[in-house]
């Protein structure tokens, strides 16, 4: 029997994810100490250590890929003068209800102009682009910011998912032609798949959003919806084709090869890293706590010495040996606290540490080590000499295994419907509805409002990877369908 010290009540999660996702998520956030919602401004939370470390790694991976694709980093001020905001009419109309305003400073009191806490950076950045970009030789001009933004969010906030301050990357690119901009939109979608699906294990589908749901000021918006496995989707990164909608008011011009002055064609892309983190832990986690991709775990290997009276020294010595053996290659820790072994198991499972190593005196006698993988709970007893090769193998496959398990079959979530009643039933059964729709232009807005009111879902748009038009009529108005859309509940 393992030595028991001060057994304290287990602090595991008490709600089942399947039964009550919302309560489960709240417990996960609290018990794994990922965020603290007790900060005393509504919608603003503290990200605790464990979340901050993972989010930093996610940023580093994302930035590396953005840079590989030719983006350079910039640092912009957080404040935007109100006068900049007014330059693009749709944009200001879209964002005005969400802006926090700085109006006073120090002892001098009122400022002469209100300053917006940036809700997004177009109106700050493109004024600078108009100063920097001169010639076709400067194009493509691809830049990114890693920063936080503020939005006075009306909906209910939830840590990481939806908050009044969040942390993201903004890509802002300028091209000499519309074709260049369209290729960039595709690159942004490809980057999203590489990061979200391959690195973070979150299944996504890209939709071209309806005109009433696009980014304010854009020509069109392509947004990734994460499939949360419950019929509900969560909007994740979106990329926006801006065309010349911003380059004209902001005067982003270049002299082309033919000597003529032209307006640039722009795109912008906004992966919200803190929100992606929320989606990832929500999607991958289980009733025992976090599951994290191997690279993203703040601790990758936890060593638990199984201490028996009289054998303390030999066990601790072996634990340290293994630690020293692994520490240069992996993020590894020995838990030599005075908690019980059982509590230690629960705690590090809750935290999502990918590999647990158990070492007891009997294992030492046999020259064996016990390894347990967090995501599938698989246990293996290995010879000490195999330790490194075995760990290397687990490390190399861990994220891939999570991904294979997590990538649900989109088609199985979808139900094609031809009548409103069938749509209502499907949505109530946690399905994503696929149907004919008159269009995704503004003339279909009334149909979309009815979808929201009567079916209880939202029109997510046209799938980017799909061309088929099998529906003859619009589900709502019965007019000829111009496209196939998907309807789902969303977080």
Interaction site with a copy of itself (CB under 8 A): 36, 38-41, 44-49, 51-53, 55-56, 72-79, 81, 83-84, 96-108, 114-115, 117, 124, 127-128, 131-132, 143, 148, 150, 152, 154, 165, 167
Closer residue to a copy of itself in complex, CB, 103/389: 103
Least distance to a copy of itself from the beta carbon of 329, Å? 17
The beta strands (E) that lie in 151-203 are given as: 165-175
Least distance to a copy of itself from the beta carbon of 402, Å? 24
Closer residue to a copy of itself in complex, CB, 6/468: 6
Closer residue to a copy of itself in complex, CB, 81/361: 81
Q: Which residues pair with 262 in a beta bridge?
A: 254
- CB neighbour burial string for 226-259, b if at least 16 within 10 angstroms, e if fewer: bbbbebbbbbbbbbbbbbbbbbebbbbbbeeeee
Closer residue to a copy of itself in complex, CB, 104/465: 104
Least distance to a copy of itself from the beta carbon of 274, Å? 8
Closer residue to a copy of itself in complex, CB, 127/325: 127
Closer residue to a copy of itself in complex, CB, 80/423: 80
**Residue tagged 């879902």 (tokens):** 457
Residues 6+ apart with CB under 8 A from 441: 210, 211
Residues 6+ apart with CB under 8 A from 93: 216
Q: Give the closest residue to 191 by CA, choosing from 271, 292, 125.
A: 271
Q: Give the closest residue to 59 by CA, choosing from 188, 121, 159, 146.
A: 146
Closer residue to a copy of itself in complex, CB, 45/196: 45
Least distance to a copy of itself from the beta carbon of 194, Å? 21
Closer residue to a copy of itself in complex, CB, 74/407: 74
| Phi and psi at residue 47, to the nearest 5° | -90, 125
Least distance to a copy of itself from the beta carbon of 77, Å? 4
Give SS3 for 239.
Answer: strand
Report the C-alpha gap between 162 and 142 in whole angstroms. Answer: 28
Least distance to a copy of itself from the beta carbon of 120, Å? 15
Residues 6+ apart with CB under 8 A from 307: 2, 3, 315, 316, 341
H helix intervals, 141-289: 178-192, 247-250, 273-284
| Phi and psi at residue 434, to the nearest 5° | -115, 130
Sign of the C-alpha dihedral computed for residues 34, 37, 39 and 41 taken in this order: positive
Closer residue to a copy of itself in complex, CB, 105/178: 105
Least distance to a copy of itself from the beta carbon of 315, Å? 22
Residues 6+ apart with CB under 8 A from 229: 283, 408
């Amino acid at each position: 029997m393992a030595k028991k010290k001060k057994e304290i009540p287990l602090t595991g999660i008490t709600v089942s994810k399947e039964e009550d996702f919302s309560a489960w998520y709240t417990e996960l956030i609290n018990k794994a100490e990922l965020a603290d919602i007790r900060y005393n401004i509504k919608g603003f939370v503290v990200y605790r250590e464990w979340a901050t470390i993972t989010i930093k790694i996610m940023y580093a991976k994302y930035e590396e890929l953005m840079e590989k694709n030719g983006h350079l980093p910039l640092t912009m001020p957080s404040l935007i003068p109100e006068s900049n905001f007014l330059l693009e009419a749709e944009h200001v109309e879209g964002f005005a209800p969400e802006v926090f305003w700085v109006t006073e400073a120090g002892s001098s009191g009122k400022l002469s102009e209100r300053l917006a806490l940036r809700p997004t950076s177009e109106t700050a950045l493109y004024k600078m682009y108009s100063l920097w970009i001169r010639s076709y030789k400067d194009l493509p001009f691809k830049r990114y910011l890693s920063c936080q933004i503020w939005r006075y969010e009306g909906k209910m906030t939830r840590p990481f998912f939806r908050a009044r301050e969040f942390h993201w990357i903004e890509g802002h690119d300028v091209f000499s032609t519309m074709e260049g901009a369209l290729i960039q939109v595709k690159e942004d979608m490809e980057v999203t798949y590489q990061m979200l699906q391959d690195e973070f294990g979150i299944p996504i589908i890209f939709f071209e959003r309806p005109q009433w749901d696009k980014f304010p000021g854009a020509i069109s918006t392509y947004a990734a919806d994460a499939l949360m496995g419950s019929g509900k989707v969560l909007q994740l990164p979106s990329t926006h084709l801006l065309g010349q909608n911003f380059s004209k008011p902001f005067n982003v011009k270049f002299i082309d090869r033919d000597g003529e002055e032209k307006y640039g064609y722009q795109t912008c892309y906004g992966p919200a890293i803190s929100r992606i983190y929320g989606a990832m832990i929500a999607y991958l986690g289980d009733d025992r706590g976090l599951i994290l991709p191997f690279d993203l775990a703040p601790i990758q290997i936890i060593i638990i010495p199984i201490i028996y009276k009289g054998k303390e020294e030999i066990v601790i010595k072996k634990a340290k040996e293994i630690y020293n053996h692994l520490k240069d290659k992996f993020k590894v820790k020995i838990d030599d606290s005075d908690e019980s072994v059982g509590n230690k198991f629960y705690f590090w499972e809750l935290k999502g540490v990918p590999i647990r190593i158990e070492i007891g005196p009997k294992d030492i006698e046999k020259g064996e080590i016990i390894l347990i993988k967090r995501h599938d709970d698989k246990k293996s007893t290995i010879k000490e000499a195999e330790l490194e090769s075995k760990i290397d193998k687990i490390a190399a496959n861990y994220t891939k295994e999570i991904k294979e398990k997590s990538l649900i079959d989109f088609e199985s979530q979808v139900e094609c419907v031809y009548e409103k009643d069938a749509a209502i039933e499907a949505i109530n059964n946690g399905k994503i509805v696929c149907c004919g729709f008159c269009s995704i232009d503004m003339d279909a807005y009334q149909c979309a409002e009815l979808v929201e009111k009567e079916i209880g879902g939202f029109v997510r748009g046209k799938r980017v990877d799909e061309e088929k038009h099998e529906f003859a009529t619009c589900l709502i108005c019965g007019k000829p369908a111009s496209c196939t859309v998907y309807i789902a509940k969303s977080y």
